[in-house]
């Protein structure tokens, strides 16, 4: 199983822009493209291999045919033939809606889906660009409901100014929004379940207000103020820098100025690399692939070594 690249799945969004093309070189066809799904088995949006002998094959078909070789025995034991990770690049030309995601229990009960724990790595940010992450004080359910009724929810929210390299971990139940001017890489559980609670009273191209999920969100929100979202990580060059380790994924950061070889014989998991800066060649014993900024590769669990070859690249490495 050589390193696989996939065709990006491009999504128009009300809040999207042109940075996916201008900064990352994606083949977008509109000025409101907000997301590039890099690896997905979400129903209706399954990634298709773009390189090598397997070009044209869907990720789900590869898993169905070679689950343990591709995913790893321990991953198959936990998730079966479901690919547990969805990775994206997101361009917010406007503020996204204020939203949150349910946990595994609620998502399974209501939607027969995984919950959605996620993380963000900021790739580019306009001056003054911000995120909304959590509340700025402990809030009661009654205070929250009142704020929705009188359009003062924004007064209860916590704002974080951001720049390149800033990283945030968004656990389920945490209210959040990506602000205008932010380009980021997102790593999440495989889920497309979002509860939208406020959308700045915007209207879509047909003049309609977007659907809100006020009632569903009430039982899913964490109303407490928590400072558990900003990820502090080391930036040692040519070394593994752990960013996030949670039950759903593990993410490491590499800042490369020279080649780095990794022994992954005991990993028992697939490996994803997202190139968030520069360029690199990723090799295993079955082949190699060139990654430019904004590109992603998937490496199967059946390899024993991975070589990262670069004189200047920043990579996110994702495993289970």
Q: How many CA atoms lie within 13 A of 308 on its CB side?
A: 30
Q: Which two tokens stand for residue 104?
A: 């595994």
Nearest-Å Rg of the Cα atoms of the chain is 19
Q: What is the CATH number of the domain that holds 148?
A: 2.60.120.10
Q: Which of 186, 218, 250 is the last residue of a domain?
A: 218
Question: CA–CA separation, 216 vs 208, rounded Å?
Answer: 21
Assess contact for 318 and 250: CB atoms under 8 A: yes
Whether 156 is covered by a domain: the verdict is: yes
Structural domain harbouring 314: 241-319
Record the pTM.
0.95
The predicted-structure confidence for 269-280, as pLDDT tens digits, reads as follows 999 999 999 999
Same domain, 170 and 248: no
Cite the active site residues.
196
Whether 224 is covered by a domain: the verdict is: no
Question: Hey, CA dihedral for 114, 119, 122, 126, is it positive or negative?
Answer: positive
- Give the pLDDT confidence score for residue 205 in this predicted structure: 79
Same domain, 51 and 160: yes
Q: Which two tokens stand for residue 217?
A: 């969100």
Q: Which of 187, 218, 249 is the last residue of a domain?
A: 218
Residue 151 makes CB contacts below 8 A (sequence gap 6+) with: 201
Same domain, 28 and 93: yes
Whether 247 is covered by a domain: the verdict is: yes
Same domain, 246 and 102: no
Band (204; pLDDT cuts 50, 70, 90): confident
Same domain, 133 and 68: yes
Same domain, 147 and 260: no
Q: How many CA atoms lie within 13 A of 155 on its CB side?
A: 8
Whether 228 is covered by a domain: the verdict is: no
The predicted-structure confidence for 130-178, as pLDDT tens digits, reads as follows 999 999 999 999 999 999 999 999 999 999 999 999 999 999 999 999 9
Same domain, 30 and 140: yes
Whether 225 is covered by a domain: the verdict is: no
Q: How many domains does the chain have?
A: 2
Whether 291 is covered by a domain: the verdict is: yes
The predicted-structure confidence for 25-65, as pLDDT tens digits, reads as follows 999 989 999 999 999 999 999 999 999 999 999 999 999 99
Q: For residue 34, give the nearest of 88, 86, 92 by alpha carbon.
A: 92
Assess contact for 218 and 127: CB atoms under 8 A: no
Beta-strand pair 98-100/45-46 = unpaired
User: Which residues make beta-bridge pairs with 177?
Assistant: 132
Query: CA dist 31 to 24, 36, 91, 221, Å?
Result: 14, 14, 11, 33
- Give the pLDDT confidence score for residue 259 in this predicted structure: 98
Same domain, 128 and 251: no
Same domain, 108 and 184: yes
Band (9; pLDDT cuts 50, 70, 90): very high
Same domain, 146 and 41: yes
Question: CA–CA separation, 270 vs 265, rounded Å?
Answer: 11
Q: How many CA atoms lie within 13 A of 45 on its CB side?
A: 17
Band (228; pLDDT cuts 50, 70, 90): very high
Whether 233 is covered by a domain: the verdict is: no
State the SS3 of 203-225: ECCCCCECCCCHHHHHCCCCCCC
Same domain, 135 and 25: yes
Same domain, 174 and 35: yes
């Amino acid at each position: 199983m050589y390193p696989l690249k996939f065709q990006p799945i491009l999504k128009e969004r009300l809040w999207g822009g042109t940075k996916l093309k201008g900064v990352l070189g994606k083949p977008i066809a509109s000025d409101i493209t907000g997301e590039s799904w890099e690896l997905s088995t979400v129903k209706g949006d399954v990634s298709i291999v773009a390189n090598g002998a397997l070009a044209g094959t869907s990720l789900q078909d590869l898993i169905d045919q070679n689950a343990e070789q591709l995913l790893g025995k321990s991953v198959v034991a936990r998730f079966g033939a479901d690919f547990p990770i969805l990775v994206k690049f997101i361009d917010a030309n406007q503020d996204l809606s204020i939203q949150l995601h349910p946990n595994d229990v609620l998502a399974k009960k209501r939607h027969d889906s995984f919950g959605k724990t996620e993380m963000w790595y900021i790739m580019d940010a306009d001056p003054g660009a911000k995120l909304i992450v959590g509340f700025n004080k402990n809030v009661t359910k009654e205070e929250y409901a009142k704020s929705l009724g009188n359009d003062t929810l924004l007064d209860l929210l916590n704002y974080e100014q951001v720049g390149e390299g800033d990283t945030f971990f968004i656990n389920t139940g945490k209210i959040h929004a990506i602000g205008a001017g932010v380009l980021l890489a997102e790593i999440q559980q495989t889920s497309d379940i979002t509860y939208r609670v406020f959308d700045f009273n915007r209207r879509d191209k047909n003049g309609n207000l977007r659907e809100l999920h006020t009632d569903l969100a009430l039982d899913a929100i964490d109303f407490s103020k928590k400072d558990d979202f900003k990820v502090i990580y080391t930036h040692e060059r040519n070394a593994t820098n752990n960013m996030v380790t949670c039950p759903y994924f593990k993410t490491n950061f590499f800042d490369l100025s020279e080649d780095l070889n990794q022994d992954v014989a005991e990993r028992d998991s697939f490996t994803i690399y997202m190139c968030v800066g520069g360029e690199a060649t990723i090799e295993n014993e079955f082949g190699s692939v060139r990654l430019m900024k904004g590109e992603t590769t998937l490496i199967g669990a059946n390899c024993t070594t991975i070589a990262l070859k670069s004189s200047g690249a920043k990579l996110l490495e994702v495993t289970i």
